[in-house]
Amino acid sequence: MQLPLLDQIRAAQTFIYRFMPPTPQYTWPLMNLRLGCEASIKHENHTPVGAFKVRGALLYLHALQQQSPDIQGVVAATRGNHGQGVGMAARLFGLKAVVVVPHGNSIEKNRAMAAQGVELIQHGHDFQAALEFAHALAEQRGFAFVESFHEELVLGTATYALEFLEGAPGLDTVYVPIGMGSSICGMAAARNVLGLATEIVGVVAAQAPASARSFALRQVVEAPAETVIADGLACRRPDERALAVMLDNVKRIVEVSEAEIQHAMRALYEDMHNLAEGAGAAALAGAMRERESLYGKRVGIVLTGGNVDRATYAAVLAQQAAS
């Protein structure tokens, strides 16, 4: 796929800012001490749906309406944040939204989607099963299917990436979580249009290693998506377009364990008093794993979302305090 150019990203920012302001990027002294470097955190947990996904959803549904003015509704599959973004955009643009989630999905993410007016359907044991069902459901109802990886979604993530790289200039390395891949592709687009030498490091859950294995083998391969704490990273099969972008633009991909992700969730609370879901904390977990190589550098960390169920978060915080 062709990554967006600078004028396209800036135009997308102008459109998105009609519905939300830019999110901040801050440097927190305690986090700097923890990592031994100057770390800038991009706070995508501060969007109107608590995650970065709303940016791409706004662009995607707007483009859809421009192309098909008579469209009545959309269908998407999600583990939660994509569905919240689609739900908010559909509500704003007067569309019906149907979202398919796997059984056992986050209770509070389900409630948040329903509050946006989404018709929620549970199907399958993982995201891939929900995705396949959603495809068929869209055709059955005559609605448009909202893909989980798409050029408009990459353009949306490029808007936060451009904010980040311009708001925290001179980053040596930036850590980005990988689910279906729109975030890391958007970061690549923003880095490239600014002509920066910033290294991009992807982070996946070790319990959902499909993107890491595909990156290592340079071809799409499936792997079980069994992460519990980082549901937003539970990708069984990466998109081949996303993989192609990663192969051209990403320095490496780091796998982090469930325990490391939970450690990072506690660290984000202790050092910054910010709420992070498992997927949102994964980038920090990756940086913490590579701490020894970061000394004295300027590092960017994307906190992609804070939508974690209360019971899950309470259990994480109740464990041994992060060191």
Rounded to whole angstroms, the maximal C-alpha distance in the chain is 56
According to DSSP, residue 44 is labeled G
Cα-based distances in Å from 144 to 91, 93, 156, 238, 307: 15, 14, 19, 22, 26
pLDDT at residue 116 in the model: 95
96 and 207 part of one domain: no
HSE at residue 251, side-chain half, CA atoms within 13 A, is: 13
Question: Quick one: CA torsion of 44, 90, 56, 52, rounded to 10 degrees?
Answer: 10
| Amino acid identity at 93 | F
Same domain membership, residue 265 and residue 126: no
Residues 94 and 241 in one domain: no
Do 246 and 202 touch, CB atoms closer than 8 A?
yes
Residues 130 and 159 in one domain: no
Alpha helix (H) ranges present in 2-52? 6-16, 29-35
125 closest CA partner among 75, 178, 79 = 79
146: its two tokens: 């909202």
Q: Count structural domains, the chain.
A: 2
Looking at residue 323, its pLDDT comes to 38
Q: What is the pLDDT of residue 322?
A: 41
CB neighbours (10 Å) of residue 125? 10
Radius of gyration of the chain (CA): 18
- The confidence score (pLDDT) of residue 319 equals 87
- Would you state the pLDDT for residue 240? 97
Q: Do 140 and 205 lie in a common domain?
A: no
Global confidence as pTM: 0.95
Q: What is the CATH number of the domain that holds 211?
A: 3.40.50.1100
119 in the same domain as 57: yes
Q: Are residues 158 and 31 in the same domain?
A: yes
In a domain, 323, yes or no: no
Q: What stretch of H or E contains 190?
A: helix 182-193
Same domain, 58 and 186: no
**Cα dist. 84→91, 129, 241 in Å?**
10, 19, 24
Last residue of a domain, one of 115, 146, 177: 146
Q: Cα(182)–Cα(188) distance, rounded to whole angstroms?
A: 10
141 with 254, same domain? no
Q: Which two tokens stand for residue 262?
A: 């939970």
What's the angle, vertex CA 243, arms to CA 237 and CA 248, rounded to 5? 165
Cβ atoms of 91 and 97 closer than 8 Å = yes
| pLDDT averages per 10-residue partition of the chain, 323 residues | 97 98 98 98 97 97 95 92 95 97 91 95 89 93 94 98 98 97 98 98 98 98 94 92 98 98 98 97 98 97 96 91 43
Residue 241 and residue 186 in one domain: yes
Give me the domain span that covers residue 90.
Answer: 53-146
Residue 26 shares a structural domain with residue 78: no
Domain final residue, candidates 113, 146, 179: 146
